[in-house]
Amino acid sequence: MAITLNSLNPDFLVIGAGVAGLRAAIELASAGQVLVLAKDEWKESSSEYAQGGIAAALNDDDEVGLHEQDTLAAGDGLCNRAAVRALVEEGPHAIEELLEWGAAFDREGTKLLFAREGAHSRSRVLHAYGDSTGREILRTLWQKVSSNESVRILSFTAITELLRHEGAIAGAVAFDSWAGGLVAISSKATLLATGGLGRVYEATTNPNVATGDGVALAYRAGVEISDIEFVQFHPTALRLEGAPCFLLSEALRGEGAYLRNQQGDRFMHAYSDMQELAPRDVVSRSMVREMIRTGTSSIQLDLTHMPAGFVASRFPRIYETCLRYGIDLERQAAPVHPAAHYAMGGVRTDIHGRTSAERLFAAGEVACTGVHGANRLASNSLLEGLVYGARAGRAMRELAAAERLKPEPVGKSRFPLMEEEALRRLAWEKLGIIRSGESLREALSQLHNGITEDRDISTRQQYELRNMHRVAELIARSALAREESRGAHRRTDFPETRKEFEKHSVVRYGRDEVEFGY
Q: Hey, which residues are catalytic here?
A: 280
Closest-CA residue to 381 (of 342, 433, 340, 349): 342
Residue 374 contacts residue 412 (beta carbons within 8 Å) = no
Residue 349 contacts residue 356 (beta carbons within 8 Å) = no
Rounded Cα gap, residues 212 and 426, in angstroms? 16
Sheet of strand 334-343, all strands in order from the earlier edge strand to the far edge: 231-238, 334-343, 299-302, 258-260
Q: Which residues contact 42 (CB under 8 A, 6 or more apart)?
A: 17, 36, 142, 153, 155
327 SS3 class: coil
Burial readout 145-169 (b: 16 or more C-beta within 10 A, e: otherwise): beeeebbebbbbbbbbbbbbeeeeb
Burial readout 443-465 (b: 16 or more C-beta within 10 A, e: otherwise): bbebbeebbeeeeebeebebbbb
Angle at 101 between CA 96 and CA 102, to 5 degrees: 100
Region of 359 please: left (phi>0), alpha (psi -120 to 50) or beta: left
Rounded Cα gap, residues 74 and 79, in angstroms? 9
Q: Which helix H or strand E contains 163, and what residues bound it?
A: strand 157-165
500 SS3 class: helix
Q: Which residues contact 268 (CB under 8 A, 6 or more apart)?
A: 259, 275, 276, 278, 283, 286
Rounding to the nearest 10 degrees, give the CA dihedral for residues 64, 70, 75, 78: 50
Rounded Cα gap, residues 191 and 392, in angstroms? 8
Pairing assessment for the beta strands 114-115 and 125-126 based on DSSP bridges: antiparallel
Pairing assessment for the beta strands 299-302 and 157-165 based on DSSP bridges: unpaired
Residue 435 contacts residue 426 (beta carbons within 8 Å) = no
Residue 78 contacts residue 374 (beta carbons within 8 Å) = yes
Rounded Cα gap, residues 195 and 491, in angstroms? 26
Q: Which residues contact 421 (CB under 8 A, 6 or more apart)?
A: none
471 burial class (0-12, 13-18, 19+ CB within 10 angstroms)?
A: buried
